[in-house]
Structures are given as structure tokens and as C-alpha cells.
Structure 1
């Protein structure tokens, strides 16, 4: 079973949204993944997802009651097969923090979406555009699921 970790800055907006949506998307297609999320910072540690993310997850029928922000740990690099950052700064921070030899597990989320490999999933904490973030994450679900199946 592939193990996937989605990462953003605070782990309250983008990465928990990606976690919940990917769990549901893969399960609906009969493919089980171990999915979690984390942040590159500890600023929001212990907090629930942002109300904007909660609204989207609730709308999609996804339980977020046990989701709590946490910072990425060194152990995560050994536990997870895929560590997927939501933007280029997340990816740079993840590579910088990675134990030696683990850097190749780090990917940019939109990197799996044909024609949009350089795009970033914008942070709705700043913009308030949670629907835009949702649409971008939805675009990446099938390409990532295909990749997990092919490379695991």
C-alpha cells in the first residue's frame, strides 16, 4: 500500500484538504492508500483544519474530526513513499529538511498534472479562495492516483 504525505506551510488549509479528498477519491476507486498531511512549520500545531477547508470537506462528505495540524518529522521521510508539497517553497523546505538520500521522495503537487507541472496550489489562508484550492487539488487526484498505481 503506497504511503502518501501531503504538505503545506501550516497544515490547516491545503494539505488536510488534499488528504481528505485523496482518501475519498482513492477509496471510491477501490484503491487503498495510507494518506496523511503535515506542515513545514509548527505554527498551527494541534489546530483543526481552517474553517474554509472544513466547509469544503463537509460539503464533500469527508470526516475531518480527527485531523490536527502537525509539523513534518524526520521519521516521515522514512515512513512515506511520496511527500508532496503544495508549492515550490514547501518543496524547497522539504528537500532542505530531508535526511540524506530521501530528497527524491519530494514532489510538487501540480507536477503530476499535464501542462501544469510548474503551477503551485495557492494558499487560501492568504487569498480566501478555498474553492480555487479545491479545484486545483481535484485536478491532481487522478494523475497522482495513476502514478501511485504505476510506481508502487
Structure 2
């Protein structure tokens, strides 16, 4: 299984979601390839936000090796599931879809945790340290829900 996490700049939400899923897949010896991207090119080549990197380590997840990149049409070919962190980014991804097969790969990540509610992962970029912690914890729960929903771990 190949999973892509997508947010706007690829420096806060999607690298953290990427980090959680990578770590859990590795610890459970699951065959999951994970990556992240942004719909905008604001931070291409940069490390994740310093606040997200610092706090992620406190939760036991290193995202230091990740670098921001922009989502491309080729990502539809390279990934089985494309998780958007919010509706705006889902819309931007869907705008690039070439066909229904591409569109069917795009999902809102929080629907794993809150099915059919179309909730969004809040962007902590302009927020406080507490906002970053809340996003990290939310992404951890959504990652666990994804693994359970896809029967990769027991419920």
C-alpha cells in the first residue's frame, strides 16, 4: 500500500501525518510506503516547520529527514490513497485529477477517525504551541483509525 499525505505547504500537517504512519508501519512491520506533499510550492526543499519538528520528537516521532515538495499529477500514479488534510487541499488535488480513478484515491484524512463528517485537520502554522500539540494528537488518532479501518491492526 502506498499512501500520500497532503496539506498546503507540506511543512506542518502532512509531514506529521507522514511521520506517524511511517513510524507505526515500521513498528508493526507493515508494508506501507508513505510520503507527503503540499498543493503549493511555498516551501519546496525545506524541512518541516521547526515547531512541528521539535514537538514531534517529544511524541517520539522524528520528521527531520523529510523535505517539502509540491503535489504533482504523477502522484496519482504513484499512490493508492491520497489523504488531504482539509477540503481546500482536497479540491486542489481533485482539480488535477485526470479521471475518476484518480478522484477515487483522494480522501479527507479525518474521515478515517470521524467517518463521513468531512472534518478538517486545522492548520497550526499561525497558532500556538498548544495548537501544534492538538494537531499532533489528532493526527496520531487518525493514523490509528486508518490502520484499524484497513484491518492492518486489530480494532
TM-score, length-scaled by structure 2: 0.88
Q: 1:71 to 1:145 in 2, by over 3 A?
A: same
Unaligned 5+ residue runs, structure 2?
Answer: none
Instruction: Output the aligned Cα RMSD.
Output: 1.7
SS in 2 for 1:124: coil
Please give the per-residue CA displacement for 1:22-78, whole angstroms capped at 9, x wherever unaligned. 111222223231000000000111111001110122223333332110001111110
Moved over 4 A (4+): none
Matched, 1:70 2:72: no
SS in 2 for 1:6: strand
SS in 2 for 1:126: coil
SS in 2 for 1:125: coil
Q: Specify the alignment match of 1:146 in structure 2.
A: 148
Q: Specify the alignment match of 1:110 in structure 2.
A: 110
C-alpha distance in 2, partners of 1:74/1:116?
A: 26
SS in 1 for 2:126: helix
TM-score, length-scaled by structure 1: 0.90
C-alpha distance in 1, partners of 2:37/2:11?
A: 9
Matched, 1:135 2:134: no
Q: 1:63 to 1:134 in 2, by over 3 A?
A: closer
Q: Is the 8 A contact 2:53 2:62 kept in 1?
A: no
Unaligned 5+ residue runs, structure 1?
Answer: none
C-alpha distance in 2, partners of 1:147/1:76?
A: 23
